[in-house]
Chain A
Amino acid sequence: MFVKKFGTMHQPYKIYTYAMEKNERLFFTTMLELAQNTLEVSWVLDENAPDFIVVDVDQPDGKAYWQAHQAENNLIAVAPQNTFNAPWFLEKPIKIRTLADLLKRISIESPKESEPGLAVTNHDISNFFEELASDTKSDDVFEPSLYLSGLLKNAQQSGQPQRFSLGSLAPLYVLPEQHCCFYKAIDFSNLTPTQKVFYKVKITQIEQQPMTAEAINSAVQTEGLRKYPINTFLWASSLYASNGRLLAYFSLDTPVRLKQWPDLSLLAHDSTHFRVAAFMLKNTVKLATVAAETQVELAAVFNFFNACMLTQLIETEGTDTVTDIRVKNTPPSHSNKHSLFKNILKRLTG
């Protein structure tokens, strides 16, 4: 697996502290040792030639050091709050998970030079990102607040413009008051595995940065970003982070109906979504029935349903309104038309 290879093909990262009080430094050392257990890349303390320096900017010496050296891009600010808008920041008091996440992110964004003959390929990077997102498989239900979908919902509620980023992937800018996001040109119908990871990882992996609307507009101009409805990203995150799991707190026994077609020309989708949408628009049924009648896997139905639910396209109904599927018979003319349409699609998609 790539992650293990990633650790062995690189020299250990060297890290040290600056302006930390003795007890704080001891605490950091302990935290680093504990965090090390969750990392695949080695991090060692090295006072003489550190690759990264953890600077306590809460201390006068640390603040002065930060101001003098921040352009060198190898500083990690540590403080109760990120008042310097440091790209690499560690919140006090230091927590193992926070430290581990930061070190993992640094190892992605600033990989050390590979040993000769072991260049990292795009495929390797893709696998690495997949690994990063793989912990979604361990939970039984989909809890949207743990993913980008939760961050977007929070942004919508707070109205705070924000920048979300993950490793070397393009950042996402959100302007909630204008109900829009800004992102590089992206084709949601052809996302690469690496691009999908942004929508799958938990929020602990995603860097959040509050911004002003003016700063976002400036980034849009300089980076040549495109405007998207927030729902396009909310949808993508719900669809991919669901990973075959049903939305938390939703009962499988609840009959549901689709209120309207999702705009699948804008939204991430696959060919099964058309069938599921057409069926759910016409019938008020339980999700197991949707899967059975459309012959789409239940896990895929859950993914589609969760995305529809998060973008408010679902109506839940009482059991007395459930459509009786048994009384429906497809007229021969419909079967004939369906067959013709399938031929057309086959011809067009090769």
Chain B
Amino acid sequence: MKEIKLVFTGSMGAGKTTAISTISETPVINTDVITTDEVVQRKETTTVALDYGELSLDETQKLKLYGTPGQERFEYMWPILIKGALGLIILVDHASTDPLNDLALFVRYFKPYIEETATVIGVTRTDLGSGPSMQAYHDYLQKQGLQLPVFTVDARSREHVIIMLQALTAMVEFA
């Protein structure tokens, strides 16, 4: 069976595990552990290796859904997961202390992949806190020479995950 890979990355607590679970036909396997460091107040558990879900497309094709660990200290995992990916979804927690900096971290790291892999940005938890305007995310990306879709998303919404996939599909068609 041919395997295809879609990667969800982004800051801790942005909803990567949740987003994967909205479209995975199998329960998401993850390696969440109790948080013990300075981020304990933001999230009780965090992913230290990866999330994994899957979706059968037909009898010969299976989509593998990977979520990277959100914390920077686990970045050694990121190149392993992104290699050969069909698309990349970067989720940013709008309610974090510095969401633009979070975006910058992932864009910087994944930039070589973004240039060859269709990528979309999903900004989550916009109803909480008073983060930057949505335009600020676009402005940052344009300064980096990138014109990526930036969508306000609820990671729990299957419809929103599908919207991100619709954008990736169109980007690939007109790349």
Contact = CB atoms under 8 A, between A and B. Distances in A.
What's the interface size class on B, roughly?
35 or more
B148 to A, nearest CB: 7
The 6 A-B pairs at the shortest CB distance, nearest first, are namely: A278-B170, A341-B169, A261-B149, A274-B170, A265-B151, A278-B174
Given A271-B166, A338-B172, A342-B169, A347 B87 contact: no
B140 to A, nearest CB: 12
A263 B147 contact: no
Contact of A340 (B56, B86, B159, B160): B86
B151 A263 contact: yes
Given A278-B171, A341-B169, 10 more contacts: A260-B147, A263-B134, A264-B163, A274-B167, A275-B170, A279-B174, A340-B61, A344-B4, A344-B165, A345-B166
A221 interface: no
B152 interface: yes
A278 B57 contact: no
Interface of A: 189, 260-261, 263-266, 271, 274-275, 277-279, 281-283, 294, 330, 334, 337-338, 340-345, 347-349
Nearest to A187: B159
Nearest to B142: A260
Contacts, number: 98
Given A274-B169, A278-B174, A349 B162 contact: yes
B38 interface: no
B150 interface: yes
Nearest to B138: A260
Contacts of A277: 149, 167, 170
A330 B147 CA distance: 19
Contacts of B166: 264, 271, 274, 345
B49 interface: no
Contacts of A266: 151-152
